[in-house]
């Protein structure tokens, strides 16, 4: 086990009918006016917006609203929201939505105090502080509700980059799994695959006997079982709740204790793919790329890859584990090859060039451009 520091100050309020607590949580910390950041309007259909607004009003919290955050959220919307924070004089940010909204809200929160928020992603200007961030999660997937990371895209430059800073931990995140009951099946699968992928970015760094590897095995199995249960019965609250909490545990620090800072090369490859194809859902990119990365890199830590196959997929070999993983993705109606994402094999060189902009790329096994090409070719042929 490697040395580590664990420090996660976010308070999570988890469970049914927890959204109406948001007003009081803001008021008791002295906030008067928030920027409410949201996506495309689904929260107006499922009651989340109404419960949120009613709670804010009951607690005397004023608000400005900024709508239209999209999947693979973009810099321009963040800049618009930062300008609104200044013109409206807000003292906190309230993100209501899924990971894209939460990540955008983190960029808004720190960008509020910066000359240029994109400079934080380019690592040319340091984050030093942020507006206090509160979140109401409507799609369990990215883990953004309980971590200090955010990913943003600048489509005109084919860049999809990440920031991380302790000031970006949400102060309070509310997770009511029951509001996820109305999600389309595809989004449920994306949430499950994204969460599994976060765990896998840590898993293969470890040793089979590690406490954290054991925990990650347990959370992985729970996520898989929960998605299976939701395929049978989308309104199964217990499965929604187990998937939601598993998703939070997948990227709140617990899954990485003693495993350095994780691997993250598959995420970088996915960012390269979706920088070229913004229509690709992050999780679907991961679904296609992770099995390929595992096949390619298994020799770098064979005992742990084999333990993953045995314990998570009840499979005797890594190859069988990868096959079981892909079979489950097919059963869930998810993509398994690059073509399923609308990505042509002819684009592999250009995607590899973009991937190589992140350096170093890979921790367990540092990846050369040729390695990236090889992995993408496995993903094309799957």
**Cβ atoms 166, 148 nearer than 8 A:** yes
Rounded Cα distance, 351 and 280, in Å:
13
**CA torsion through residues 176, 170, 37, 157, sign:** negative
Name residue, tokens 């971590």: 147
* Rounded least distance, CB 245 to a second copy, Å: 5
Residue 372, CA distances (Å) to 50, 270, 349 in order: 46, 11, 9
**Cβ atoms 180, 188 nearer than 8 A:** yes
* Rounded least distance, CB 247 to a second copy, Å: 9
Give contact residues for a second copy (rule: CB under 8 A): 1-16, 18, 207, 209-212, 214-215, 217-219, 221-222, 225, 238-239, 241-242, 245-246, 249, 254, 257-258
Residue closer to a second copy by CB (options 59, 62) is 59
Residue closer to a second copy by CB (options 195, 354) is 195
* Rounded least distance, CB 4 to a second copy, Å: 5
* Rounded least distance, CB 250 to a second copy, Å: 10
* Rounded least distance, CB 12 to a second copy, Å: 5
**179 closest CA partner among 311, 88, 288, 46:** 46
**32 closest CA partner among 131, 109, 119, 103:** 131
Q: Report which DSSP code applies to 290.
A: H
Residue closer to a second copy by CB (options 16, 330) is 16
* Rounded least distance, CB 100 to a second copy, Å: 24
Query: Is residue 347 within a helix (H) or strand (E), and if so which, with residue range?
Result: none
* Rounded least distance, CB 380 to a second copy, Å: 35
**Cβ atoms 23, 57 nearer than 8 A:** yes
Rounded Cα distance, 284 and 344, in Å:
15
**71 closest CA partner among 19, 120, 142, 136:** 142
Residue closer to a second copy by CB (options 163, 224) is 224
The alpha helices in 211-281, defined as continuous H runs, are 211-232, 237-249, 265-276
Residue closer to a second copy by CB (options 211, 368) is 211
Residue closer to a second copy by CB (options 310, 340) is 310
* Rounded least distance, CB 309 to a second copy, Å: 17
Q: Where are the beta strands (DSSP E) in 39-175?
A: 62-66, 92-97, 133-137, 149-154, 159-164, 172-175
* Rounded least distance, CB 329 to a second copy, Å: 21
* Residue 297, burial from CB neighbour count under 10 angstroms (0-12, 13-18, 19+): buried
* Rounded least distance, CB 168 to a second copy, Å: 16
Peptide bond into 4 cis (omega under 30): no
Residue closer to a second copy by CB (options 114, 219) is 219
Residue closer to a second copy by CB (options 73, 206) is 206
**Cβ atoms 227, 332 nearer than 8 A:** yes
Residue closer to a second copy by CB (options 222, 300) is 222
Residue closer to a second copy by CB (options 245, 305) is 245
């Amino acid at each position: 086990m490697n040395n580590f520091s664990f420090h996660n100050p976010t308070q999570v309020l988890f469970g049914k009918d927890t959204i109406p607590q948001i007003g009081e949580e803001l008021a008791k910390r002295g906030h008067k006016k928030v920027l409410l950041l949201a996506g495309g309007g689904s929260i107006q259909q499922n009651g989340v917006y109404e419960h949120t607004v009613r709670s804010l009003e009951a607690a005397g919290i004023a608000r400005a609203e900024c709508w239209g955050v999209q999947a693979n959220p973009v810099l321009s919307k963040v800049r618009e929201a930062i300008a609104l924070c200044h013109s409206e004089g807000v003292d906190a940010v309230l993100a209501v939505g899924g990971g894209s909204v939460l990540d955008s809200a983190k960029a808004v929160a720190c960008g509020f105090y910066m000359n240029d928020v994109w400079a934080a992603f380019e690592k040319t200007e340091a984050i030093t502080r942020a507006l206090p961030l509160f979140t109401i999660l409507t799609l369990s997937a990215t883990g953004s509700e309980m971590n200090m990371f955010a990913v943003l895209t600048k489509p005109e430059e084919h860049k999809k980059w990440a920031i991380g800073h302790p000031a970006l931990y949400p102060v309070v995140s509310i997770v009511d799994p029951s509001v996820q009951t109305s999600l389309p099946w595809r989004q449920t699968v994306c949430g499950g695959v994204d969460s599994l992928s976060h765990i896998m970015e840590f898993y293969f760094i470890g040793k089979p006997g590690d406490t954290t590897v054991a925990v990650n095995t347990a959370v992985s199995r729970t996520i898989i079982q929960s998605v299976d249960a939701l395929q049978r019965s989308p309104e199964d609250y217990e499965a929604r709740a187990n998937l939601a909490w598993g998703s939070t545990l997948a990227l709140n620090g617990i899954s990485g204790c003693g495993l350095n800072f994780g691997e993250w090369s598959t995420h970088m490859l996915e960012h390269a793919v979706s920088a070229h194809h913004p229509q690709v859902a992050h999780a679907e990119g991961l679904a296609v790329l992770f099995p390929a990365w595992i096949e390619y890199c298994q020799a770098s830590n064979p005992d742990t890859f084999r333990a993953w196959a045995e314990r998570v997929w009840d499979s005797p070999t890594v190859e069988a584990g990868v096959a079981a993983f892909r079979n489950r993705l097919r059963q869930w109606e998810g993509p398994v090859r690059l073509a399923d994402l609308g990505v042509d094999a002819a684009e592999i060189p250009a995607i590899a060039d973009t991937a190589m902009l992140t350096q170093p790329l890979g921790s367990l096994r540092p990846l050369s451009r040729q390695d990236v090409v090889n992995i993408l070719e496995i993903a094309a042929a799957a």
